[in-house]
Structure 1
Amino acid sequence: MDCVFCAIAGGEPPAHRVYEGETAVAFLDARPLFPGHVLVVPRRHAETLTDLEPAEVGPFFAVVRRIAGAVETGMAAAGTFVAMNNRISQSVPHLHVHVVPRNRKDGLRGFFWPRTTYADDVQAAETAERIRGALAE
């Protein structure tokens, strides 16, 4: 199976990881809504939420919860937007939760979101470090 998220969870290709654990891996989205937009994926391949084993749901969402707090703190955001798609609009067929830093009047409206990129690898690495640092607090 050629799943880019399974490959990232396994250590290849390079990604700006902010968390690696037994249950899940979290890394910066390559096309973020805002800097600090993180994807949280289960290590074991599961295409959708209903494909996740019942015993994996709690531990996986405990990681999502932790990442949401770290994104808010690390990016000095007023809050976060946490979402996932199941099949429809799911660009990679591997369960992933988007954790996006939010601030009032940040321009995010409805479900038509402009995607951006990081200016360069240095900006992405610095952003990932901010979130990793918040996880350590």
Structure 2
Amino acid sequence: MGCIFCNIVNGTIPAKKLYETKDSLAFLDAFPLARGHTLVIPKNHYDKVQQMSKQDNLDLFETVQVMAGRLESVFSSVLIAIHNGKESGQEVPHVHVHLIPRNASDGAGPVHSMFPKRPSLDENEFEKIAKIIGNK
């Protein structure tokens, strides 16, 4: 059957489409975390963000911007999230951006609440990490 999101793009699997460009598609998540939970995907298949072409990246994030505005006009606040790889929680290996309407009583909390086992880094460790990442 292949990639579920590619099948949505080609029309094999139906979806509640909200917005579409030549290179991206926004639709309601079939398993929403909140009313209005929307996914934005590139129409071309990429597993991770860093694999995307410049054009697909620009179009995807322009669509995210449009949809975030639409959702905020209805729901007031929107969490924008990308799981980039299996270890980060990505369940479908096709780039997708979650736009999840939020409110003060939804109980979800800030992103930091997802990580109960946070590292305690001293200044030397911060410097090492900054040099490793910054020199790539």
Could you tell me the TM-score, scaled by structure 1's length? Answer: 0.75
In structure 1, give the amino acid aligned to 2:114: F
> What's the offset of the Cα at 1:111?
2.9
> What's the offset of the Cα at 1:9?
1.0
Superposed CA offset, 1:73-124 (max 9, x none):
2xx3121000101112111000000001111222112339xxxxxxxxxxxx
| Contact in 1 for aligned 2:24/2:56 (Cα 8 Å) | no
* 2:30 alignment partner in structure 1: 30
Counting matched residue pairs gives 110
> What's the offset of the Cα at 1:70?
1.0
* 1:86 alignment partner in structure 2: 84
Compute the RMSD of aligned alpha carbons.
Answer: 1.6
* 1:126 alignment partner in structure 2: none
In structure 1, give the amino acid aligned to 2:22: E
Q: After superposition, where does 1:37-76 map in structure 2 within 5 Å?
A: 37-73=37-73, 76=74
* 1:3 alignment partner in structure 2: 3
Deviation >4 Å, runs of 4+: none
Superposed CA offset, 1:3-56 (max 9, x none):
110110111211111112111011111111101000000000011101101232
| Contact in 1 for aligned 2:41/2:97 (Cα 8 Å) | yes
Once residues 55 and 22 of structure 1 are traced to their aligned partners in structure 2, the CA distance between those partners, rounded to angstroms, is 11
Task: State the identity as a percent.
Answer: 39
| Contact in 2 for aligned 1:78/1:104 (Cα 8 Å) | no
Structure 2: segments with no counterpart, 5+ residues: 116-136
Structure 1: segments with no counterpart, 5+ residues: 113-137
Once residues 78 and 49 of structure 2 are traced to their aligned partners in structure 1, the CA distance between those partners, rounded to angstroms, is 20
Q: Say which one has the larger Rg.
A: 2
* 2:125 alignment partner in structure 1: none
Could you tell me the TM-score, scaled by structure 2's length? Answer: 0.75
In structure 1, give the amino acid aligned to 2:99: V
Once residues 56 and 8 of structure 2 are traced to their aligned partners in structure 1, the CA distance between those partners, rounded to angstroms, is 19
Once residues 20 and 52 of structure 1 are traced to their aligned partners in structure 2, the CA distance between those partners, rounded to angstroms, is 18
Once residues 23 and 34 of structure 2 are traced to their aligned partners in structure 1, the CA distance between those partners, rounded to angstroms, is 26
| Contact in 2 for aligned 1:45/1:94 (Cα 8 Å) | yes
Once residues 40 and 55 of structure 1 are traced to their aligned partners in structure 2, the CA distance between those partners, rounded to angstroms, is 15
In structure 2, give the amino acid aligned to 1:3: C
